[in-house]
Structure 1
Amino acid sequence: MTYPISFRRKVLSIREKENLSIAQVAQRFCVGVASVMRWIKTPDPKTTRNKPATRIDRERLAQDVKNYPDAYQYERAKRLGVSTQGINHALKRLGVIYKKKPASPQSQRRRAAYLPRKN
């Protein structure tokens, strides 16, 4: 849970004023001990992640999508040497989406029976 900065500062100021331990202040405000310890180090919430660049090369993935447009994500993951979930996130970042289409002519006929007819 993310607590507002004003609440974090209030907890820390009361801890200093009343000379409370971390466990006491955590119990008093019904927050975790680890949260209070983290707030002592950096009271401001982090807005960005310090994460290294992804292993998946965007150009290689875009080329793979162009070369194999109907490939499954696990096939792409195997070709690029990464996880399937990583491929999923990378495709979302690239904006690649797949729309489902009716597979068989039979399902198209059934669907057409329910669609309004144009005169």
Structure 2
Amino acid sequence: MGYPVEFRRKVFKLKEKKELTYEEVSELFGVSMRTLFRWNTRIEIKKKAPKPRAINLEELKNDVRNHPDSYQWERAQRFGVSQHCIQHWLNFLGISCKKNTKTSKSQRKYTYKLPE
């Protein structure tokens, strides 16, 4: 996490007030000179644009309803994403993996259940 904007402003006010060099300010506050030059160019914190989701969450919910016994890697192939991506969004949606006890142990598969 970066330094707060108020701290940045105080650093430059002190620099101007006491007529310090960048090197002196760097030593005083423990901030690199490169960081001070960057702050001088842009004092406000850059905001990152939100990254679009790789999959539509409604489509994922429908896929879980239509194919409750699919493995995560099978869903990943259908959506064209990684298995980790599917795991992350299933967890985000609160969808849990449940054991299918209707089949024998050797044929047992897990099913996914949507939260109530």
**Range class of TM-score, shorter chain:** 0.5 to 0.7
Amino acid across the alignment from 2:9: R
2:14 alignment partner in structure 1 = 14
The structure-2 alpha-carbon separation of the partners of 1:100 and 1:62, relative to structure 1 and needing over 3 Å to count, comes to: closer
Q: Aligned partners of 2:91 and 2:48: how far apart in 1?
A: 18
Identity among equivalent pairs (%): 40
The structure-2 alpha-carbon separation of the partners of 1:16 and 1:56, relative to structure 1 and needing over 3 Å to count, comes to: farther
TM-score by length of 2: 0.58
Alignment coverage as a number of residue pairs:
100
How far did 1:81 drift?
Answer: 0.4
Structure possessing the higher relative contact order (Cα contacts under 8 Å, 6 or more residues apart): 2
Q: Identify unmatched segments of 5+ residues in structure 1.
A: 104-119
Tell me, what secondary structure is at the counterpart of 2:96? coil
Q: Aligned partners of 2:73 and 2:60: how far apart in 1?
A: 13
Alignment of 1:1-119 (within 5 A): 1-17=1-17, 18-21=19-22, 24-33=24-33, 35-45=35-45, 49-93=48-92, 95-98=93-96
Amino acid across the alignment from 1:40: N
RMSD (Å) for aligned C-alpha atoms: 3.2
Amino acid across the alignment from 1:26: S
Q: Identify unmatched segments of 5+ residues in structure 2.
A: 102-116
The structure-2 alpha-carbon separation of the partners of 1:56 and 1:29, relative to structure 1 and needing over 3 Å to count, comes to: same
Cα shift readout 1:79-117 (whole Å, capped 9, x = no counterpart): 210123322333344x2331666x7xxxxxxxxxxxxxx
Q: Aligned partners of 1:43 and 1:11: how far apart in 2?
A: 11
Cα shift readout 1:50-79 (whole Å, capped 9, x = no counterpart): 034222122321211112224333322122
Cα shift readout 1:8-58 (whole Å, capped 9, x = no counterpart): 21122233442523x553332113445434433443445x63034222122
